[in-house]
Amino acid sequence: MKIILDSEQIEKTLKDLAKEIAMGVTGADDLAIIGIRSRGEILAQRLARCISDQMNQPVLCGTLDITLYRDDLNSPHGEGQPEVRTTEIGFSVDDKTVILVDDVLHTGRSTRAALDALIDLGRPKVIRLAVLVERAGREFPIQADYVGRSTRVEPGQAVRVKLVESDGRNEVIVE
């Protein structure tokens, strides 16, 4: 196990991402931060708070569940029934600049599922992707617009994001 981001580095990375996102939009009026369950949801909430502080106005924030949009849902190699949770987006995504947030971008499959789920909710003006960690191994032509940290990871290794809200501590590890 190797720690690639500790608690302080995660917080600094999120503040830097928030600053970059805030600089790339004209205002908070049409901005929406939407996190992919489950750790993307937590990161989206943290980013929305940082951006709100920087812009001195509230930023819309929501949570997207992609379970039913996954391409491995009916896989014969699946591990039982998936847990379907709720999508919690209490606003229209129509004509919004949506920042889709996930913890790790690896194959691109989760992002593809999230794009499908998001489009079913409406027609955003633009969708951008923000990730805490990006690693090689894309299976779809998907890239992040905002990247906290890029890392090289050997095949067979995994990047795990642990957040205090769900795991009791903040760190990103390679195992």
Q: What is the DSSP letter of 88?
A: B
Tokens for 67, please give them: 């379970």
Return the closest-CA partner of residue 173 out of 162, 91, 164. Answer: 162
* pLDDT for res 104: 97
pLDDT confidence of residue 84: 77
Is this prediction's pTM over 0.85?
yes
What is the spatial distance between Cα 134 and Cα 24, in angstroms, rounded to a whole number? 20
Determine the pLDDT at residue 28: 82
DSSP per-residue string spanning 112-135? HHHHHHHHTT---SEEEEEEEEEE
User: pLDDT 10s digit of each residue in the chain, 175 long?
Assistant: 999 999 999 999 999 999 999 999 887 889 999 999 989 999 999 999 999 999 999 999 999 999 999 877 655 555 666 677 889 999 999 999 999 999 999 999 999 999 999 999 999 999 999 999 999 889 999 999 999 999 999 988 999 999 999 999 999 999 9
Q: Could you tell me the residue ranges of all domains in the chain?
A: 2-70+85-174
Q: Which architecture, in CATH terms, is 2-70+85-174?
A: 3-Layer(aba) Sandwich (3.40)
Confidence (pLDDT) at 132: 98
Question: Which residue's structure tokens are 């027609």?
Answer: 123
